[in-house]
Structure 1
C-alpha cells in the first residue's frame, strides 16, 4: 500500500507546513525520521540543491529527508532492484526519485550533485569487497567526482577504535534462556560471536581472540578481547533480528584519523568530524549491560554510537585546514591583560582586551512561504579552534577544519558612524558593509547585546538586524573586522534557513551559543516559533527553598551605580597570552601543502583547563513549582560598559585534566553536588566561549538539585517562568542565557505547565507585550523595547484591574452571604438539638408548667440578598464528590488566581524598574 498523499487534500487537512509534514510522515518510524533530521542538520543545504542518498535500502530515510526539505531534490540509490521498485511504489513526492545503482560506481555525471549522503553504507562497501580498504578509497574518489565544486559529503558510520588495543568487557552473569541465538544471554552471545565472526574467511580462519578472566565482582563475567571486536559486538548485540545477515559484515575499518586523512586526500575540507553518543542508545543498551576497562584495569567511558564527518569539495590550493604549527618569533601582540581589583573583597582579576571592537549584523528575510532566512558569513578562518591543547583535552573529540559560520562582523565604529537609524543610513550601511539590498523602509534594528565572557574578556558584542531582499547567489564579504588578514580563507556571505542553523547548533556542527541566542531572539522578535527536535526527561524532587531570590532587590541593586572594580598595576597571573604561528594548508598537485601562515594571539588560563562545565540547577518547591538556581556575582567587564557589574550567573566547575570522557564528566558533576549520575543531564553539545580570543570550551549541563543546594546561601532560586522574563535584564552572561534557552527547549513538556497556560489566557490582554509566549524558549526583548510598550500595558492593566475589582467585590459579597447563611443553619441545628434534649428530660421528670418556647425565625438576621442571588432555602444540596483521575483534573481557581496575583506583583515590580536604566560607561 502506498503512502502518497494528495497535495490538495493536504491543503484542506492542514494549513501549516508542519501539519502537512506530519501527515506525510505518519507511517514512517520515528527512528527513521530522527535519522533523516540528524543527517540534514549537518548539511545546511540551499534551496534547489540535488542530494543523492547512497545505499538507501528501503528508501524510507530518503523519503523522510524529502518531506523535511521540500525545496531540495533527493535521489535514493541502491543496487537492489527489488528494494528500489518497492520504494517507488510506496513513496511519491515531487522532489523525490529512486534509482538502481551501486554506490561504488560512477552512476552520476561529473559535478552534477550538490551533496552525497553515506549513512551507514561505507562499512557495507568495505565488507562486500572482502574487507578491502582500497575499494572504500576508490568509492569516495568516484563520489567526489560527481560533486560540484563546493558540494558537501556527509558520512555517518562507525570508526574503528585504536588498533591493536585490548580491553576488558565486564557483563552481568545472566543465564541463557535456551540455545537459540535469540535466547542467549549477552555474555554467552559474546562467546558465540568470538567463534563465528568473519564467516566468509577460509574454514577455520574466522573468529577473534577472547579469554575469560576471573570475576572482579560477584554476579559478573569478565572478558579480555581486542577493542575493535568489543566495539563490533557492543554495536550489534541488541539487533538479534538481523544478527545472521549482519554476521559477515564488519562495522569498523577506518579510525577517525584515517577517515579525515582519506577525505583530505580527495582534496576535501573536512569541515567537521566527531564521535557521537546517542543518549537513548546509551541508556537502553549500554548502562547496566556492560562496563569497559583498559588493559590495565582503568575504567573507560561509553564508546561512541557512531562517527560523523562533513566535508566539502574544493579546488586546488583552496584552504582545507588551519592549525597551530609553532610559537611565533615576533613580539607584536594584539592582546593586553589588565588587572582589576575588587575594592570590597580585595580580589584581583585579570581581564584581556583586543585592539578591535566588533559588532555583529544578522541580515534576514521571510520568504513567501513564511520561512525565516538569515545571511551569515560561512567559511571564515577561526584558527584558534585548532590550537594545541594546553591544560585538559578535547573531551568530546569534536574537530573543525578551522573554518566557521558566524554573523557578519563589522567594526563598531562603522555602526557609530551611521548615526540615527533611518532608511537612508541603513541602506548606505548595508551597501558599504554587507553587500545586500535592504527591503523597502527597512532600518537597522538593535538586538540583544552579549558579553562573551564577562569575567575576563573585555568585549561587549552588539547585535543588529536588517531586513533585506533576496541575494543572487553568494556574496564576497566586505567587512573583516576581528578576522585574519593573511589566510586565504575569507569565506562568503550566503543565505541559510534559520531553522537549519539552529539544528546545526543542536547537533554540534556549529559551536556557537551566541549565534543560537541571536537567531532565537530574531524568531521571537518576528513572532515566529522555532522548532525543537531534542527533548529530555528530568525527575525533580521537591525541596524547601530557603534562599528564594528577591527579584525587587536584584533589580534595585542593578539600577544603582557600582564602581567596585578598579585597575591596578601588574597581573594576577590568571591569564596568559600566547603568540603562535598558525598554518593554512591546501591541496597542491595531489598532496597537501602549506598555503599561508599568520601569527595569532590568544588567551589561556593558567592553573585551569580549557574545559568548563556550566550548570543549571532545577528543582521544585513545596507547591510543585519548578525553580532555576543561579549565583549572583559582580564582574569587571559589565561594570566598564554599564556602570554596574552585577549579573546572574550559572554555577561553574572547571573540569580537571584527568576527566577524559562524558561518563567521567557526569560522575564528576554528580560527586560535586552529591547526587546520582542519573540526575545529571547534558544540555546539548559543547561550544567555544569566544573562538576569536580563546580555545576555552563550555560544556552545558542541568542537574536535579539536591536538598542541600536549596539551603546553600550562594545559590538563589527563582520560578523558571520568571527567569524567562528576567534573564535579559539580570544576566550579562551568555552561558546562563544559553542554559535557560536550552532547558526550556529540552525539558519543554515539564516546564510548560498547564496552570500557567490557563493563566496565560487570563492575562493575555493585560500583559500582551510583557508576558512571554510559553512556547518560546526564552524572552529576548530588551528593556528599551519593553519601555516602548509600558504605557499601553499600564493603561490596559488599569482597565482590567477596575473590572477585576468589581468582580472581586461581587464575589466577596456572594461568599459573605453564603457564610452567614451557613452560620444561621448551624445555629438552627444546634437549637433544634437542644430542644429535643429538653423534651426528653421532661418525660423523665414531674411535669412542670413552663413558659412556651417562642418559634425561631431562621431568616430574621439575614440581609436581603441581591437580585442575582437565590434565597438560601433555594440553594441546591451539595452533590457527592466525583472522583477525577489526577491527570485530568482541571486547575482550580485558587491555583490560577494565586499564580495570577504572583505574576501580577512580579510584573509590577519589574515595571517600576524600567524607568531607571543602568548608566552606560564607555
Structure 2
C-alpha cells in the first residue's frame, strides 16, 4: 500500500517495477483517486480512497506499507502534534501481516542544538518578491511565517555579521536551520510550504517509535540526495556548530524500514558487557620483510560456502535468501566508533544461505542445505560457480566461495531451525534480484555477499540488472592514462613478502573482543542472550572508505588499480600480490563524511600522486563480513584531474575488461567498486 499517493505516479512506478506485487495507492482526496484510476492502469495496480492515519485495510492483510513524504502532512494539518504521526504508524502496523514491512521516507528532525547559518544577501531585499529576493531576505520572511497555521507562527533569531562578504549570519536552533534549508528553493509554492512543519521526529525518535510498535528496524538512515547536495546545498549556505567548527550538510531525506514480528520476538540487541575472548576466532601476525611492518589477521575455524538459489519467472529473476538473520555486532558501536552517516540497523539482515564446508562433497552440501531451507533437492535444475574473493584482505584471512543454484519457480517462506542462539535464525524467502541491487545502491542491503552473487547471476545469464538509481558520475576525458591490461598485471612476477611473526610482535592493529549480546523485545525484556566474539581495528575506526578512481580516454572508461601485497592473499593463495582498489580505514577522530573525504583526498595525493576533482557516492555502505567484524565500507567513485603524477603506482585498466574478467578480481572491495561503477556507467546492460 502506497499511503498518500497523491497523483499516483509513484504507485504506478512501483507496480511497473514489480509486476509480481499488487500495489494499492491510497489517498484521502476523491478527485486524486479518480484521476489516478483514469491515468494509470496496470493489472497489478489499483487506487482507493482512504485516510492514511486511519484504518484502510483489514487487520494483518497487507505485506508492505510505504509512507513517502506524507507523514509530515499528518502532523502539520493537525495542530503540529507530533504524536499524530505515532498514532498513524500504530494504525498502519495493525494492518500489516507478520513479517510485513513498514517504510517511512520523509524528513528527519535535528537533535537539540544551536548553529550559525550563513546565507547570501545578494538579491532583492523585498520579502514580497519571492522570485528575486535574496536568500537572507527569504530567511527573514520565513522567520515570520513558519508554521503559518499556528496561532503563533514564526520564531526568533539573532542576526550577526558574517565573516563572508555579501552574506548574512543568523544564530538559530539546528531544527529551524534545517527547516529553512529544506524548503529554501521551493519559492513557487512558498505560501503552502510554510504551512507545513517538515520535521517531527529525530532519527532516535523514529527508531524508538518503531521498536515500541513491535518492529525490527532493518534500516534507519539519513539520505543525502546527490543532485540536491551538489546543486542546491554545496556553497549555497554554511553551517557552523556552537564550538565554531563547520557542521555537516543536513540530510535531504530519511528512510526507516521496520519488520513486524510476533509479540515477544526480538526487535533489537544490547551490548551488555565485555567477556573474555572465547577462542573461536584466531589472530595471527605477519611481518612484511621489506618494511618490517607487522600485520594482524583474524580467521575463523571453518570454511563456509555461500549458496544462492534462484529462479526465473516471465517477468523477473528471483533469488532465495536467508532473511532477518541476527547479526547483532552490526548494531554495536564498539569502543565508541559511530557510523559516518548515522546509519543504524538493529542487526537482522538478509544474507545468502550459508553452509559449513566439511568432507562432504559440495553437491551434497548444497542439497542438504536446501532441504533444511524448505527446498527439495528435486527442485534443483543446475549448479554453477558463483564468486570467489577476499571479503576484507587487509584484516580477515578468509576466502568467500559461492554457488548459484537454479531451482524451479517456487514460493518459499520457511523459518530456519534454531542455530543462532537468539529468538530467530532467519526465514528463507525469495526476493526480486533487481530489487536487491536497488537496495544496495541506497544503503538498504548491509550484506555484500548477496550483492556480489546477484551481479554474478545477472552477468552469467546475460540479463539486465536494471537501472542504476544512485549518484550519477561525471567522468572526465583525458589523454594522460598509461593503459595496461588485466592479463599483463596478473602475469607479472609473483611475490611473497610476508613471514610469520609472534603475538608479542604485533603492533596492535586488530583486537579480539567478546561481548554478551542481549536480545530485547518491544517491551525491552531480555528474551535471549549470547556471548559473541568479533574483531575490531584497535588503531583506527571501523569505518573504511574505498575509492573507484575513474577516467575516460579514447571513448572508454578506465579504473585505477593498486598492485598491493596483503598477508591474507599469501596465506590463502601462496603469493602476496593482490590487485585492489584504494581503500583506507579512517582515524578515530574522523567521525563524519566531509572530513573523511578530505582525509581520503590527502591520502590519494600522498600515496598515489592523484588529485581528485570530485567524489561521488558509489551506492550504499556495506559490511564485508558481518559474522566477524562490524567494519563498514563506504564506497565512493572519484574523478581525477588531468594532472596524473608520472610516479603514481596505480595501474589503469579498462572498466569493461574488469567486468569481463571479474573472476580474476580477488579483492572484494575492488569487485564491488568495479561492478557498481560499471552499472552506473551503463556497462552492464546486455
Same fold, TM exceeding 0.5? yes
Once the 2 structures are TM-superposed, how far is the Cα of residue 742 of structure 1 from its aligned partner? Answer: 1.2
* Aligned-residue offset at 1:615: 1.4
More displaced stretch, 714-723 vs 402-411: 714-723
Query: How far apart in 1 are the matches of 2:552 and 2:74?
Result: 52
Q: Is the 8 A contact 2:411 2:430 kept in 1?
A: no
- Provide closer, same or farther for how the CA distance between residues 677 and 567 of structure 1 changes in structure 2, counting only shifts above 3 A: closer
Q: Equivalences for 1:155-170 in 2 at 5 Å?
A: 155-163=104-112, 165-170=113-118
- TM-superposition CA deviations, 1:741-760 (whole Å, max 9, x none): 11111233xxx6xxxxxxxx
1:736 maps to which of 657, 670, 673: 670
Q: Is the 8 A contact 1:430 1:437 kept in 2?
A: no
* 2:477 equivalent to 1:544: no
Supply the distance in 1 between the matched residues of 2:488 and 2:12 (Cα, whole angstroms).
56
Distance 1:335 1:244 in 2: 61
Contact 1:506/1:684 (<8 A) preserved: yes
Helix, strand or coil at the partner of 2:413: coil
Match of residue 98, structure 1, among 47, 51, 56:
47
Q: Which residue of 1 aligns with 2:415?
A: 476
Within a 5 Å distance, the mapping from 1:369-768 to structure 2 comes to 369-390=314-335, 392-413=337-358, 416-418=359-361, 421=363, 425=364, 428-429=367-368, 432-438=371-377, 442-477=381-416, 480=419, 484=420, 486-534=421-469, 536-545=472-481, 548-549=483-484, 553-557=488-492, 563-570=496-503, 571-572=505-506, 573-587=508-522, 591-620=523-552, 623=554, 625-673=556-604, 678-707=613-642, 709-729=644-664, 731-748=665-682
Q: Tell me the distance in 1 between the aligned counterparts of 2:277 and 2:111.
A: 40
SS at match of 1:150: strand
Give the greater-gyration-radius structure (CA).
1
The 3-state SS of whatever aligns with 1:442 is: strand
Q: Which deviations, in whole Å up to 9, do the C-alpha atoms of 1:731-785 show, x marking residues without a partner?
A: 321101111111111233xxx6xxxxxxxxxxxxxxxxxxxxx636xxxxxxxxx
Q: 1:262 to 1:428 in 2, by over 3 A?
A: closer
Residue pair 1:323, 1:402 contacting (<8 A) in 2 also: no
Counterpart for residue 297 of structure 1: 244
Q: Which has the higher helix share?
A: 1
| Structure 2 SS opposite 1:596 | strand
Match of 2:307 in 1: 361
Partners of 1:427 and 1:437 within 8 A in 2: no
* Residues 298-353 of structure 1, C-alpha deviations (whole Å, 9 max, x = no match): 1111100111111111111111112322212x552311111123345543221111
Q: Distance in 1 between matches of 2:218 and 2:638?
A: 33
**Superposition pairs of residues 843-854 of structure 1, within 5 angstroms:** none
Superposed displacement of residue 492, structure 1: 1.0
Give SS of 1:241's match.
Answer: helix
Q: 1:285 to 1:706 in 2, by over 3 A?
A: closer
Q: d(CA) in 2 for partners of 1:97 and 1:575?
A: 54
Q: Deviations over 1:511-546 (max 9, x none)?
A: 233321111111121222211223513242525346
Structure 2 counterparts to residues 857-872 of structure 1, below 5 A: none
- In structure 2, C-alpha distance between the alignment counterparts of 1:631 and 1:308, rounded to whole Å: 35
**Residues 1:129 and 2:78 are matched in the alignment:** yes
> How far off is 1:472 after superposition?
3.9
Displacement of 1:620 after TM fit? 4.4
| Structure having greater relative contact order (Cα 8 Å, sep ≥ 6) | 2
How far 1:677 sits from its partner (Å)? 6.8
Kindly state the Cα deviation for residue 624 of structure 1 after the two structures are TM-superposed.
6.0
Please report how far the alpha carbon of residue 438 of structure 1 lies from its aligned counterpart in structure 2 after TM superposition: 4.3
- TM-superposed CA distance for 1:653, in Å, is 2.7
CA shift for structure 1 position 439: 5.7
Contact 2:611 2:643 in 1 (8 A): no
Range that drifts further, 86-95 or 217-226: 86-95
Work out which of the residue numbers 230, 250, 258 in structure 1 matches 2:177: 230
1:171 aligned to 2:119? yes
Q: Displacement of 1:427 after TM fit? A: 7.7
d(CA) in 1 for partners of 2:21, 2:487: 51
Return the alpha-carbon distance in structure 2 between the equivalents of residues 487 and 268 of structure 1: 16
CA contact (8 A) 1:686 1:699 kept: yes
Residues 427 and 294 from structure 1, CA distance in 2 versus in 1: closer, same or farther, beyond 3 angstroms? closer
1:812-891 equivalent positions in 2, closer than 5 A: none
Structure with the higher fraction of residues in strand conformation: 2
Distance 1:80 1:537, change over 3 A: same
Partner of residue 294, structure 2: 348
The aligned residue for residue 57 of structure 1 is 6
Query: Secondary structure of the equivalent of 2:31?
Result: helix
Please give the secondary structure, in 1, of the residue aligned with 2:491.
helix
Give 3-state SS (helix, strand or coil) of 2:575's partner: coil
- Any conservation in 1 of the 2:544–2:584 contact (CA below 8 Å)? yes
Q: Is the 8 A contact 1:209 1:226 kept in 2?
A: no
Change (3 A) 1:282 1:417: same
Query: Distance between the aligned counterparts of 2:272 and 2:291, measured in 1?
Result: 42
Deviations 1:793-851, CA, capped at 9 Å, x for gaps: xxxxxxxxxxxxxxxxxxxxxxxxxxxxxxxxxxxxxxxxxxxxxxxxxxxxxxxxxxx
Q: 1:149 aligns with which of 84, 92, 98?
A: 98
Instruction: State the number of aligned residues.
Output: 678
Distance 2:106 2:481 in 1: 47
Q: Does 1:338 align with 2:268?
A: no
User: In structure 2, do the counterparts of structure 1 residues 716 and 120 end up closer, same or farther at CA, with 3 Å as the change threshold?
Assistant: same
Q: Using a 3 Å threshold, how does the CA distance of structure 1 residues 658 and 344 change in structure 2: closer, same or farther?
A: closer
Return the alpha-carbon distance in structure 2 between the equivalents of residues 230 and 706 of structure 1.
35
Which shifted more, 638-647 or 683-692? 638-647
Q: Cα 1:689–1:532, aligned 2, differ >3 Å: closer, same or farther?
A: same
CA distance in 2 between partners of 1:182 and 1:240 (Å): 7
1:159 touches 1:306 (CA, 8 Å); kept in 2?
yes
- Counterparts of 2:497 and 2:594 in 1: how far apart (Å)? 41
Q: CA deviation at 1:600?
A: 0.7
Given that 2:611 and 2:640 are in contact with CA atoms closer than 8 Å, whether structure 1 keeps it comes out as no
After superposition, give the CA deviation of every residue in 1:39-97 in whole Å (9 maximum; x if it has no partner).
xxxxxxxxxxxxx2222222222222222222222222222222222222322222222
Q: CA deviation at 1:637?
A: 2.0
How far does residue 195 in structure 1 lie from its aligned partner after superposition?
Answer: 1.1
State the superposition RMSD in angstroms: 2.4
Q: What is the TM-score when the length of structure 1 is the normalising length?
A: 0.70
Change (3 A) 1:526 1:219: same
Segments of 5+ residues of structure 2 without an aligned counterpart are none
| Displacement of 1:181 | 2.4
**How many Å separate the matches in 1 of 2:60 and 2:380?**
41
Q: Is the 8 A contact 1:58 1:83 kept in 2?
A: yes
Give the distance between the partners of 2:336 and 2:662, measured in 1 at CA.
32
Which of 209, 223, 228 in structure 2 is aligned with 1:281? 228
CA apart distance, 1:108? 2.0
